[in-house]
Amino acid sequence: MAGHGRAPGVVACCVLLLAGLVGCGGRPAPDSQTAAVQQVLDRRAAAVLAGNRPAFLATEARTADAGGRPAADAAEFDHLRGVPLAAWSYRVTALHRTGDRASADAELRYRVKDYDRAPVTAARVLRLTRTDGRWYVSADEPAKRAGEQLWEQGAVETVRGTHSLVLGVGQPGEVLRAYAELADRSVPAVTDAWGTDWVRHVVVLVPRSLEGMAGLLGAPASGYRGIAAVTTGEAGGTTRAPADRIIVNPDAYGVLGDLGKQVVLRHETTHVATRAHTTAATPLWLSEGYADWVGYRGSGRTPGEVAPELARSIARGQVPAALPRDTDFAFSEDADALAQAYESGWLACRMIADRWGEARLNAFYRAVGDHRTRSGAVESALRHTLGMNLETFTRQWRAYLGTQLG
């Protein structure tokens, strides 16, 4: 887990998702039943993309009751109508069959029209039954440990902004429009700080509650209580823009003031903008510190207002000896220590911008992400962009903490 957009008492984070499949000799040879199931899913995908409800229902198994109603997935088809889709497809990766019943592991790939240049990829499990020699879908569910899709939680309402698309479930239209307005202000603010080499629009998902947010992430709700938003996407180094999603926790986000809400949206938008340059070589103090730096940039807030926990620690004579480790960003019961980690990263980025300029800060961020491995990434980038080693940078950063917060 990486990424965080923070306001006092509330945090946000970024989740990186990867997937893969290997076949014998690079070309798996499916049996005839696997091919038959794939054909059913191809028809199902075409129906979703075309918005053809009768064609979709023709792929659904019928219930055993007297009415012979289609499976519950029909409701999810209706919930999808608010989502502007550009692509939708399934790929069967494994079939587990016993007689006329089967379970298919599949990869769902879809794109939102005008917003996704690369697809969202979701692991799914489809239950199927065979009747008169034909396969029908009786259930289409997230795979184990995979997140739900928003339309599985209810009917999706869509609000288009100038630079944003907001998809919500169980939220009033005016609430979704307010999210779009905030996102529309965030995109140009992030572009002004980072530059234009990103898609310059965002997709924001607003579920009904904290539990809905956790469902989208495939995780327990207890792990996200107090977190205002997260960003999901595929990390780094690709020329295609990944299909990032900013997922809001309406419970935590709703208690923020106007500045806090804007900071969180700017922070998460920064993760979208910097995604291609955020890699395994990028430490969390840099990715989170930079996103917070953009979030608070131009806000007029003082270091003491943005970093109160670190200021209290320094007032007690406890100056951090080193930049935060990735493990310092793990969510735990020690909220003060977590806050200090984020505040330390923010002040490191702020120091670079203050002393060497914003262009050099951006160059440093890119140089770290361009390194092949974590080992030596920061050290190399410091030498090439700031002309110093890590020991000197850390010493200057510790002194900067004292002058800004002491």
**Residue 243: per-residue pLDDT:** 79
Domain at 1-26+147-277, CATH class? alpha beta
**Residue 31: per-residue pLDDT:** 77
**Residue 293: per-residue pLDDT:** 98
Q: How confident is the model at residue 65 (pLDDT cuts 50, 70, 90)?
A: very low
**Residue 73: per-residue pLDDT:** 76
- What are the structural domain ranges in the chain? 1-26+147-277, 31-146, 279-406
**Residue 222: per-residue pLDDT:** 85
Phi, psi (degrees; rounded to nearest 5) at 79: -65, -25
**Residue 3: per-residue pLDDT:** 45
CATH number assigned to the domain covering 31-146: 3.10.450.50
Cβ atoms of 345 and 292 within 8 Å: the answer is yes
Structure pTM? 0.88
Q: How confident is the model at residue 337 (pLDDT cuts 50, 70, 90)?
A: confident
Residues listed for the chain: 406
The residue assigned the tokens 């989170």 is 288
Q: What is the DSSP string of 246-295?
A: EEE-HHHHTTS-HHHHHHHHHHHHHHHHHGGG--TTS-HHHHHHHHHHHH
What average pLDDT score do residues 118-137 get?
95
d(CA 366, CA 230): 22
d(CA 329, CA 342): 7
Q: What is the pLDDT of residues 5-56, one digit of tens each?
A: 444 444 555 443 333 333 334 444 457 999 999 999 999 999 999 999 999 9
Q: Per-residue pLDDT for 234 more than 90?
A: no
Q: Provide the pairing of β-strand 101-112 with 85-98.
A: antiparallel
- Mean pLDDT lowest among 92-106, 108-122, 246-260, 323-337: 323-337
**Residue 72: per-residue pLDDT:** 60
**Residue 14: per-residue pLDDT:** 44
- Mean pLDDT lowest among 15-19, 46-50, 87-91, 228-232: 15-19
Q: What is the pLDDT of residues 346-393, one digit of tens each?
A: 999 999 999 999 999 999 999 999 998 999 999 999 999 999 999 999
What average pLDDT score do residues 325-334 get?
82
What average pLDDT score do residues 48-75 get?
78
Cβ atoms of 270 and 290 within 8 Å: the answer is yes
Cβ partners under 8 Å of residue 75, min gap 6: none
